[in-house]
Structure 1
Amino acid sequence: MNPILHVEVPVADLDRAIAFYRQWLQVDVAAPINVHDCRMAYLPFNDADVGASMALVHGADYLPSEQGARIYLGVDDLDDSLRRALQAGAVLCFGPAVAGDWRVAEIRDSEGNRIALQALVNA
């Protein structure tokens, strides 16, 4: 069992974060909604699929940080995803490096969160 069901990424500027993640991940981010005194925008997900949902969240209790939990996003092509992230304004923090069967890199997103990318070496 993979215990992670949902991840909320803290953002200081929701519109900027939506633009960043759209450009980087090449996905449509849902229009923001108000939930529990926060503004939240979901990345695409399907409840029937394996894996966690993810949302960008702006609110008083959500503070972007490089020191918080590290989220690893699986990508098909690490080099292509990393290139798009950097073009969208990310800063490279680490990598790419090989870790067993995986290639890994870490970036600082538009909001200051440290996010990791990983892809299989032989994908």
Structure 2
Amino acid sequence: MFNPNPVAWFEMPVTDMQRARHFYHHVFAVEFEMLEMGTDLMAMFPFDHAKPGSSGALVQGPDYEPCSKGCMVYFECADVAPLLAKVEHAGGKLLLNKTSIGEHGFIGMFLDSEGNKVGMHSQQ
């Protein structure tokens, strides 16, 4: 059976783990759990198994290359605007200010410190 919320995990490539961790900590105020898996270094985003949704990790390794094209991850937040305001100060580049998507809420987009295109979504 197909899960109506099908994403179970995501991995975001990084070239400089310290810089990437600083960027996401500054924008989203998250702490990361570090994990090494073979040649890959992973910074795990927080995850609560009792709540719906998924989590993922920043990953630095030989098979990971940041990209601004392809799949995008959208982070859910209470309000897109105040988080987007932190992006450039943290070393990213703002691509799309808070924009209405009608009854589905609001989105914004940015390039992170590593060059990945990332989105944010909020209902308000």
Instruction: Report what 2:13 is aligned to.
Output: 10
Query: Contact 2:84/2:97 (CA < 8 Å) preserved in 1?
Result: no
Within 5 A, what are the aligned runs for 1:50-61?
Answer: 50-61=52-63
TM-score calculated relative to the size of structure 2: 0.90
TM-score calculated relative to the size of structure 1: 0.91
Name the count of aligned residue pairs: 120
Q: Tell whether 2:97 aligns with 1:108.
A: no
Inter-partner Cα distance in structure 1 for 2:73 and 2:38 = 23
Structure 1 position 68, deviation (Å): 2.4
Query: Which 4+ stretches in 1 moved above 6 angstroms?
Result: none
Structure 1 position 11, deviation (Å): 0.3
Inter-partner Cα distance in structure 2 for 1:119 and 1:77 = 5
CA shift digits 1:4-61 (9 cap, x unpaired): 111111001111101111111011112x221132000101111222111110000111
Q: Tell whether 2:109 aligns with 1:95.
A: no
Structure 2 residue ranges without an equivalent (≥5):
none
Give the % identical residues: 32
Instruction: Report what 2:42 is aligned to.
Output: 40
Structure 1 residue ranges without an equivalent (≥5):
none
Within 5 A, what are the aligned runs for 1:64-103?
Answer: 64-101=66-103, 102-103=105-106
Instruction: Report what 1:26 is aligned to.
Output: 29
Query: Contact 2:14/2:64 (CA < 8 Å) preserved in 1?
Result: yes
